[in-house]
Amino acid sequence: MKNLTDLTTKIFADGAELDGMLALYRQPHIKGFTTNPTLMRKAGVSNYRTFARQVLAAIPDRPISFEVFSDEFDDMERQAREIATWGEHVFVKIPVTNTRRAPAYDLIHRLSHDGVKVNVTAMMTLEQVREVVHAVKGGAPSNVSVFAGRIADTGRDPVPLMTEAVSILRAEPKAELIWASPRELLNIFQADAIGCHIITATHDILKKLVLVGKSLDEYSLDTVKMFYEDARSAGFSLNVVSTA
């Protein structure tokens, strides 16, 4: 199997906890960052602008995506244009539709061709991929985020879909495909095998990077030791019960 240094797929960290982001920023294999309103809420972020400015002051030189949060396209556009001014490496996450299923393709085209770096998010179908690639073609550099992990949650194998998405993106060299919402570390190597440009993973998954290449014999022994120590710490006992 490949070492981390041999991967061509770029690893982005997905999160909104500043200390954790800074720790990952110190890791050279983390090439960028993504956030979203759900992660910000879980991290206790209350002021969007303040949080973004703190992050960008601490991480000024790697791509980072911040998401709009309106459901109306006019206001979505206003937010996107402001967010785009926050930094040279900022990408603006635009959902592929609003909550009423109205597609955001016109907005994506307008922003991209006005120089806004968009990260089109929450995508799960090849039709969406084709429409978005058409919208950003000839525009600014962009990301196309397909939620492969959520596709897998439905019982579907995401690898064939993601492989086809890689092919579709060849029509626009300035657009990069993101394997979003991975569920396990293996997904990083699956993304690399099909030529996906980027994978974005939560901090919990990224913590497992230390296991890459670990001896399975040693990992088996570590697991046995874990079960033993946990049983001992819990004070479990099956002492012989006297029948006298």
Is the CB of residue 179 less than 8 Å from the CB of residue 187? yes
Q: Is 207 a catalytic residue?
A: no
* CA 242 to chain CA mean position, Å: 58
Letter for the amino acid at 178? Answer: I
* CA 119 to chain CA mean position, Å: 11
Q: In angstroms, rounded to a whole number, what is the distance separating the alpha carbons of residues 198 and 77?
A: 25
| Options 2, 31, 93, 207, the catalytic residue | 93
Q: What would the DSSP string read from start to end of 114-126?
A: TT--EEEEEE-SH
For residue 195, how many other CB atoms are within 10 A of its CB?
15
Contacts of 160 by beta carbon, 8 Å cutoff, 6+ apart: none
Q: Point out the residues that are catalytic.
A: 93
